Amino acid sequence: MKILMVTNKVKTYALGFQNVLEPLEKLGHEVIWAADFSGFVADKSIIPCKIEQININTNPFNTSNIGAYKKILNIIEQYKIDAVMSSTPIGGALARLAAKKKNISPVLYEAHGFLFFKGAPFINRTVYKLEEEVLAHYTDVMITITEEDYAAAQKFKLRSGQKPYLVHGAGVRVGVKVQVDRASKRKSIGIPENAFVIVSAGELNKNKNTEVVVKALKEVPEAHYIACGVGPEEENLKKLAEELGVADRFHLLGYRTDMPQLMAASDVFTMMSFREGMPRSLLEAMDIGLPCVGSDTRGIRDLIDSDGGYICSPKDPHAFANAFNLLMNDRDLGRKMGIHNQGKVQDYSAEVVKKELYEIYKKTFDNK
């Protein structure tokens, strides 16, 4: 069977993509992958399937998406596509509309985070929710990766009459052994050997909400905070740290390729986003054995339980500060939470997810 997979921007042949393609290859299907590969950082020959360049704008109202929709129709005709699958909101909408026009079935959609999450802006909870309800009628199989999205998807009426599936995220490598000299790593950043170290990873934007931890830092006087990432909020965060008098304990390190070592040299991982899917960096921190402090939002609350860390309101720096202080003052508690997290993350391993997807794909395409 020839399957068209549609996604948005692709920079690397990440593990999540591997976990989708490998089960399809094992089942003997041919995949044509349509996405924006213009920013791909490696040799595209490592991708084990045919690829097609397509430019999808993440703004659903951008008229350039009309061209992307037409390109998808052309690809369907060119390769005589038998099935369509997608995993991003805009790409998923265009792919399902194109499949509907070409009378293609089955159509699969893997939701990595509905845009109408709890606490989302009004337009998300109305327009985007209505969009998904309509597109569900053109969808045969829907796969979700968080409890909140799974509950929402249960209310959709899929064309096939099936119920949605819930899988354990996109899959991460587990049991990774990280070798690091904590003292040397900290010294290279300018952090005292015995300091309590908070670490986070992610783009510096409004959604990632780095400022709540910068504000919390004022209430955790012995802590240092490492923020890895780049983005439009960088200067605002520097200014905020200066105003609060915590600039000497706030370390903006930019984009890093040594995140596992930085995590291993830290005492707690934090993720304070307003919106997430199933955050890979949080899963990786759990695998390394860190206690975790995160915001009360989809994806994060799927992973952090009371035995492995603390959940806080993303708008409450005092709650984050209290959690950090509890862990700073009881290092044994943090170690116990880290061990718990290492056990819990096993359910989200790449091998588990590949097996789950293999069974879904086998059932879907065997019935075709």
What percentage of the chain reaches a pLDDT higher than 70?
Answer: 99
Q: Do domains 2-171+349-366 and 182-348 have the same CATH topology?
A: yes
Tell me: the pLDDT tens digits for 95-128?
A: 999 999 999 999 999 998 887 777 767 777 777 7
Domain segments of the chain: what residues? Answer: 2-171+349-366, 182-348
pLDDT surpasses 70 at 177: yes
What pLDDT sits at residue 368? 67
How would you write 153-191 as a 3-class SS string? Answer: HCCCCCCCCCCCEECCCCCECCCCCCCCCHHHHHHHHCC
Compute the half-sphere exposure of residue 160: CA atoms within 13 Å on the CB side of its CA: 18
What is the model's pTM? Answer: 0.90
Q: Which has more pLDDT, 242 or 39?
A: 242
C-alpha to C-alpha distance for 115 and 101, rounded to whole angstroms: 24
Q: For residues 218 and 245, is the Cβ–Cβ distance under 8 A?
A: yes
Query: Residue 30: enclosing H or E segment and its boundaries?
Result: strand 30-36
- 46 burial (CB, 10 Å; 0-12 / 13-18 / 19+) is exposed
Which pLDDT score, from 0 to 100, does residue 317 have? 98
Average pLDDT of span 355-360 = 97
The pLDDT, as a whole number, for residue 127 is 75
Question: To 10 degrees, the CA torsion angle through 120, 121, 124, 125?
Answer: 70
Give the confidence band of 130 by pLDDT, cuts at 50, 70, 90. confident
CATH of span 182-348: 3.40.50.2000
Is the pLDDT score of 203 beyond 70? yes
Work out whether the CA dihedral 328, 330, 334, 335 comes out positive or negative.
positive
Q: Please give the residue that has the higher pLDDT: either 91 or 61.
A: 91
Show Cβ contacts of residue 279 under 8 Å, excluding neighbours closer than 6 positions: 271, 273, 299, 300, 303
| pLDDT tens track for 264-288 | 999 999 999 999 989 999 999 999 9
Percentage of the chain exceeding pLDDT 90: 85
Does position 351 have pLDDT exceeding 80, yes or no?
yes
Fold for the domain defined by 2-171+349-366: Rossmann fold (3.40.50)
Average pLDDT, the chain: 94
**183-to-126, 193, 224 alpha-carbon distances in Å:** 51, 5, 14
